Amino acid sequence: MRYYNKQHQYYCGIDLHTKTRYVCILDQAGKIVLHQNIAVDAELLLKLILPYMPDIVIAVECIFTWYWLADFCEKYNLPFVLGHVLYMKAIHGSKTKNDRIDSHKIAVLLRGGMIPMAYVYSAKMRSTRDLLRRRMFFMRKRAELLAHIQNTNSQHNLPKFENSIARKRYRHGIKEHFPEKSVQKNIEMDLALLKHYDTLLNDIELFLTNLAKEQQPNNLYLLLTIPGIGKILSLVMLYKIENISRFERVQNFTSYARLIKPQKEKDP
């Protein structure tokens, strides 16, 4: 885990929500120079931190509303730190918790060099990564429909399907495979949704593949040369990693990919 430990004149911790955010700014001595709840508006934030620029760093927890704040900091050339939520136990493990307290704790952790850093994904490919994640959501829903058909078949102790119903060409006659009308209607709904998901997923995958060829063609083709990695897995790796140069060493990348088993060192 990496921690942000650069020194600044002011440290700003923000507890961010969809409509409001609590802003806490500390000076180098740890004194609170500003502690205020404001609406989520870029102009308001700029007006608030303007007296403390240019030597201020801004930190926020990695929740779904951080995108615009990262873009705001990039626009005004401000250091931005994205705190890893799972590792920020000093906030989530506290007995007393509210927006005012959380914003102060973020600022304190930032000033003390104890903010566990999450990767700030670049705006250029961020929306494409989100679309790829959305595809995964639809794929899981499709898998649930296939599982429901198989489970219904087992529930009625009927003969197994001859071929994999995951493929469209093997779904002919599936509804008639079940004798009861109510069960047939149930399966008919599953098949209708499956047809829709197949069309939707094909469209998303084609769009993502074409976009990847525009954004990172060399990296995409390089990933496809690895045995066992196909179209979808190459896209997942491409947009998950984004830029391999962000890893200083091979060890950093393998640790990021959870390929290194952690070892507990014995006390001397």
| Model pTM score | 0.80
- Sign (positive/negative) of CA torsion 225, 230, 233, 239? positive
What's the whole-number average pLDDT of the chain? Answer: 91
158 three-state secondary structure:
coil
Q: 265 pLDDT exceeds 80?
A: no
Specify the pLDDT at position 77.
Answer: 94
- How far from 155 is each of 159, 188, 259, CA to CA, in Å? 11, 17, 40
Condensed to tens digits (0 to 9), the pLDDT of residues 56-89 reads 999 999 888 899 999 999 999 999 999 998 887 7
- How far from 149 is each of 157, 171, 195, CA to CA, in Å? 12, 11, 14
> Which domains, and CATH codes, for the chain?
3-116 (3.30.420.40), 123-256 (no CATH)
Q: How far apart are CA 15 and CA 60, in angstroms?
A: 6
Rg (CA), the chain: 25
**Token pair of 61 as six digits:** 């927890």
Q: 259 pLDDT exceeds 90?
A: no
